[in-house]
């Protein structure tokens, strides 16, 4: 039995974006996936605007810090205040980008940027470094992988995060060179320890200044002959990146990672080999690779639909796209990210988030299933995130918790103002007896027989409006809604 266009297009929107928005529901069955994909690509064609959340006070402080004499005179209190302002700014950047994922028509670009954010995982308290790296990723998300790799490798955020400012002639620091090969290009086991040592020598002198500009300190650079991948030469860092791109293993590694993220955790070796070959021959054209995936017949096979567990960000963004809302307190979004284990701009380490089944355990599943209730004020957020301060980078008391309500300890209200009329209007022509099947079709990518009956008395039958609201919340609160 052929898969209907609506199912295919919802599958496409969950993988090439963050799920369907409520205003798209009426058109999902009208167009073929290839037509829909063309529209998605067109909507992501413009260069993204630079996201700047740093206030004038932070800019002024950093301009002063460019002066080494003033920097050395900062008191302990000044340093603490600076750190606080930085944390607040990084939080603002997190929320701003999350809202872009919800509202932006450039869904493909933001979804690809989200993928690259996990691939080129970097954690830094400097708001300017964060903003610059995010812009690099969003600008190049659908461009050329070689350009993206080079610009990320030149970014202050990544160089500082991976300690390359300590990489000097005669005292090489191998951290940056190792991760460039293990995580960004080749994958583990496709290089030697000597390759790492020689690459580290090539990257000596690469650093950045306080404003985030790439700096090459020639007097720190080892300009001797290196041997890398069996080739000898006076290689610098850019030469190493070029040699990595000339290795087909890079195309294979990136293609397989993209397949796991956008298609299925179980990699089809035959398909990914063909995709990797095309990716390599296209000189790493990301848009071409994604078009090959999203316009193929096999992408829409039933085995790939509803086969992925939504990441916390996909879950939070997807709910807000389907049920439009405005939050009284944006800090609740930070708390929800912490509880679910995925905070934008705060990856657990340079390997990023492992994804897949790691998103679900007995604790996180229950929290996930409560989130629709929290958004609709039917439940309070009374959980406390894990206090992993190595990951939190001193943010245990950064003011990102929502405002407590009542007398319960650690109880928070999300306080979302939901635009129910816009959502309910999409079901005006649906008969009462067909409402739950219609809602289920729009919300779920997994078809579970008998799910309607399991809702039972949890659905309010007092009025059509109450019925629609409660049925939607209950279906979003099921294990099936966790899949996309």
Confirm whether 190 is domain-assigned. Answer: no
295 in Cβ contact with 325 (< 8 Å): no
From residue 389, alpha-carbon distances to 74, 360, 397 in Å are 25, 22, 10
Confirm whether 482 is domain-assigned. Answer: yes
- Quote the pLDDT of residue 378: 60
Whether residues 316 and 407 share a domain: the answer is: yes
Confirm whether 258 is domain-assigned. Answer: yes
Whether residues 431 and 477 share a domain: the answer is: yes
Whether residues 297 and 255 share a domain: the answer is: yes
Whether residues 12 and 37 share a domain: the answer is: yes
- Quote the pLDDT of residue 379: 62
Helices and strands counted in the chain (H then E):
23, 6
- Quote the pLDDT of residue 448: 83
- Quote the pLDDT of residue 68: 56
Whether residues 411 and 445 share a domain: the answer is: no
Whether residues 411 and 325 share a domain: the answer is: yes
Whether residues 451 and 395 share a domain: the answer is: no
3-state SS assignment for residue 207: strand
Tokens 């004020």 identify what position?
Answer: 377
- The residue from 418, 452, 468 where one domain ends is 418
Confirm whether 477 is domain-assigned. Answer: yes
Confirm whether 373 is domain-assigned. Answer: yes
Confirm whether 222 is domain-assigned. Answer: no
Whether residues 292 and 387 share a domain: the answer is: no
Whether residues 414 and 314 share a domain: the answer is: yes
- Quote the pLDDT of residue 399: 43
Confirm whether 276 is domain-assigned. Answer: yes
Structural domains in the chain (count) = 3
Q: Is 170 left (phi over 0), alpha (psi -120 to 50) or beta?
A: left
Whether residues 334 and 362 share a domain: the answer is: yes
Whether residues 276 and 325 share a domain: the answer is: no
- The residue from 418, 442, 460 where one domain ends is 418
Low-confidence residues in the chain, pLDDT < 70: 65-72, 378-412
∠ CA 138-279-228, rounded to 5°: 90
Q: How far apart are CA 381 and CA 400, in angstroms?
A: 14
Instruction: Show the domain range for 393.
Output: 309-418
Give the β-pairing of 214-216 and 226-228. unpaired
- The residue from 304, 331, 346 where one domain ends is 304
* 238 secondary structure, DSSP code: H
Whether residues 394 and 465 share a domain: the answer is: no
Torsion of CA 155, 158, 160, 166, to 10 degrees: -100
Confirm whether 478 is domain-assigned. Answer: yes
Q: How far apart are CA 373 and CA 357, in angstroms?
A: 23
């Amino acid at each position: 039995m052929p898969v209907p266009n609506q199912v295919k297009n919802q599958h496409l929107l969950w993988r090439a974006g963050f799920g369907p928005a409520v205003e798209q529901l009426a058109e999902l069955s009208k167009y073929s996936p290839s037509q829909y994909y063309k529209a998605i690509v067109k909507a992501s064609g413009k260069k993204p605007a630079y996201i700047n959340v740093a206030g004038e006070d932070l800019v002024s402080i950093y301009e002063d810090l460019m002066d080494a004499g003033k920097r050395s005179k900062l008191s302990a209190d000044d340093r603490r205040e600076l750190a606080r302002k930085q944390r607040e700014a990084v939080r603002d950047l997190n929320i701003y980008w999350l809202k872009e994922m919800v509202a932006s028509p450039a869904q493909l670009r933001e979804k690809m940027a989200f993928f690259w954010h996990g691939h080129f995982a970097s954690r830094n308290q400097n708001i300017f470094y964060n903003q610059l790296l995010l812009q690099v990723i969003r600008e190049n998300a659908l461009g050329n992988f070689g350009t993206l790799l080079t610009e990320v490798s030149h970014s202050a955020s990544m160089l500082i995060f991976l300690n390359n400012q300590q990489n000097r002639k005669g005292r090489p620091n191998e951290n940056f060179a190792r991760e460039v090969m293990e995580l960004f290009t080749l994958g583990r086991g496709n290089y030697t320890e000597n390759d790492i040592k020689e690459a580290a020598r090539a990257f000596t002198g690469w650093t950045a200044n306080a404003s985030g500009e790439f700096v090459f300190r020639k007097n720190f650079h080892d300009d001797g002959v290196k041997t890398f991948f069996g080739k000898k030469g006076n290689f610098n860092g850019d030469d190493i990146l070029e040699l990595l791109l000339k290795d087909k293993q890079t195309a294979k590694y990136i293609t397989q990672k993209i397949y796991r993220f956008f298609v299925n955790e179980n990699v089809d070796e035959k398909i990914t080999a063909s995709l990797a070959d095309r990716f390599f021959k296209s000189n790493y054209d990301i848009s071409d690779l994604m078009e090959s995936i999203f316009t193929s017949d096999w992408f829409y096979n039933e085995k790939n639909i509803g086969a992925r567990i939504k990441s916390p960000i996909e879950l939070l963004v997807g709910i807000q796209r389907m049920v439009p809302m405005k939050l009284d307190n944006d800090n609740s979004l930070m708390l929800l990210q912490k509880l679910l284990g995925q905070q934008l701009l705060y990856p657990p380490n340079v390997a990023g988030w492992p994804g897949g089944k790691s998103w679900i355990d007995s604790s996180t599943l229950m929290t996930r299933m409560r989130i629709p209730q929290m958004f609709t004020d039917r439940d309070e957020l009374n959980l406390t995130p894990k206090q992993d301060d190595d990951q939190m980078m001193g943010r245990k008391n950064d003011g990102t918790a929502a405002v407590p309500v009542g007398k319960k300890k650690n109880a928070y209200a999300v306080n979302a103002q939901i635009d129910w009329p816009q959502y309910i209007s999409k079901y005006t022509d649906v008969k009462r007896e067909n409402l739950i099947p219609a809602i289920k079709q729009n919300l779920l990518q997994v078809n579970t027989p008998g799910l309607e009956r399991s809702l039972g008395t949890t659905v309010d039958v007092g009025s059509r409006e109450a019925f629609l609201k409660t049925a939607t919340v209950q279906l979003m609160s099921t294990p099936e809604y966790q899949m996309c």
